[in-house]
Amino acid sequence: MPLHVVTAGESHGPGLTTIVEGLPAGLELSQEAIDRDLARRQLGHGRGGRMKIEKDAAAVTSGVRHGRTLGGPIALQVANRDYKNWEERMNPWPVEADVPEVHLPRPGHADLAGVQKYGFTDVRNVLERASARETAARVAGGALAKEFLRALGVTVISHVTQIGSVRAPETAGSLTLADFDGVDESPVRCLDAEATKAMVNEINVLRKKNESIGGIFELYAFGLVPGLGSHVSWTERMDGLIAGALLSIQAAKGVGLGDGFDLAGRPGSEAHDEIFYSEERGYYRETNRSGGIEGGMTTGEPLVARVAMKPIPTLTKPLRSVDISTKQPSQALRERTDSCVVPAAGVVGEAMLAIVLAGAYRDKFGGDHIDDVKASVAAYQERIGWKPRP
């Protein structure tokens, strides 16, 4: 069956649940690998208080036995440790207490459209699910997808290339896996030491002005075979599938593959990746402007995607809004106080990309045990004479 990841859970409810369907049996998993990504999602300069009170961990309650997948749905539970303080406000069942409603929709959030769509009088009924807290459930599911990819020689990783007005030096799709060593040690998950300093400074300066800060992160996937996705149907093209998954991340507003928007301004002779062949390497490219996607398929070069994140819309300097019960102008609710989430968003991006790529491997190679999948991948690599890029 195709890979399918569904999440449930509100920000201050009892907890988050993820179900991952479609991984093969026999895949080795570890609690550490899951929790490591959950921890990485909580890092980054610019995060607010909640990240300190909660260390997320995911309890696996089905689909795994003695460290190996069983081939069926895997359920993961990430408790909201703070729920004890919210039991009245967020109880699934009626409570005695009189719980006040939230009436101020925050610009830039799901709040206003959400109460309109769902017919609510209480903005909390929207914001609890719309919160980026939900991305912890995605990251938990994505960690499983990553383990599956890892078993096939594929690594998905991200780095931050822009925070506010500060841009890291351009790398033009040329990074190798080794370049990412230590990326998590930068407080903004940036590969460039100078840029890191400037980014931290940017955050500090803007935070003092009660501003939030956006930015851009870039994703790489190394080790992908050529021919994932397909040109034959628009619903099967990897570029569309990847863009769809990445722009579903809260606060993401743009996505580019390879050189993305820059390609629009270049002449054709500088916009593509010429094809070469050598005995040792098979077919290869000397550039990677396409970001490893041509005709809706992976090319066998590293996959590169960029995601633009708007500054999070919850500001310590609130924006103007309207009270939905009185219709009077007012200032938007302040719900939490992260000022910059771009480094963490990169980890969410890894999860979403891994989910799409794992799904593409499942579609292309089938197999019910991980060894079946590995054998199919190996046979295909052999058939096309492809070797993983170093």
Angle ∠(357,359,365) on CA atoms, nearest 5: 100
Angle ∠(59,352,228) on CA atoms, nearest 5: 120
Window 311 to 350, contacts with its own copies (CB under 8 A): 311-313, 315, 317, 319-322, 327, 329, 332
Window 166 to 205, contacts with its own copies (CB under 8 A): none
**Region of 25-33, 41-49, 149-157, 192-200 interacting with its own copies (CB under 8 A):** 25-33
Listing from the earlier edge strand, what are the strands of the sheet with 15-21? Answer: 4-8, 15-21, 74-79, 58-62
Applying CB under 8 A, which of residues 50, 54, 107, 177 lies at the interface with its own copies?
107
Binding string, residues 125-164; x marks residues near its own copies by CB under 8 A = xx-xxx-------x-----------------------x-x
3-state secondary structure 10-33: CCCCCEEEEEEECCCECCECCHHH
- In the annotated binding site for FMN, the residues are 129-131, 250-251, 295, 310-314, 336
Residue with Cβ nearer its own copies (54 or 211):
211
197 contact partners, CB below 8 Å, separation of at least 6: none
Q: Is 120 exposed, middle or buried (0-12, 13-18, 19+ CB in 10 A)?
A: middle
Residue with Cβ nearer its own copies (221 or 242):
242
For residue 253, the 8-state DSSP code is E
Residue with Cβ nearer its own copies (178 or 269):
269
By the rule CB under 8 A, 290 interacts with its own copies: yes
Applying CB under 8 A, which of residues 27, 60, 149, 347 lies at the interface with its own copies?
60
Q: How far apart are CA 97 and CA 100, in angstroms?
A: 9
Residue with Cβ nearer its own copies (176 or 276):
276
**Least gap, CB of 181 to its own copies (angstroms):** 26
By the rule CB under 8 A, 33 interacts with its own copies: no
Residue 101's CB is within 10 A of a number of other CB atoms, namely 12
Window 260 to 289, contacts with its own copies (CB under 8 A): 260-261, 263-269, 271-277, 283, 285
Applying CB under 8 A, which of residues 46, 71, 302, 349 lies at the interface with its own copies?
71
- In the annotated binding site for NADP(+), the residues are 41, 47
Cα separation values, 304 from 31, 262, 350, 355, Å:
28, 14, 11, 15
Number of residues that bind its own copies (CB under 8 A): 164
Residue 276 β-bridge partners: 284
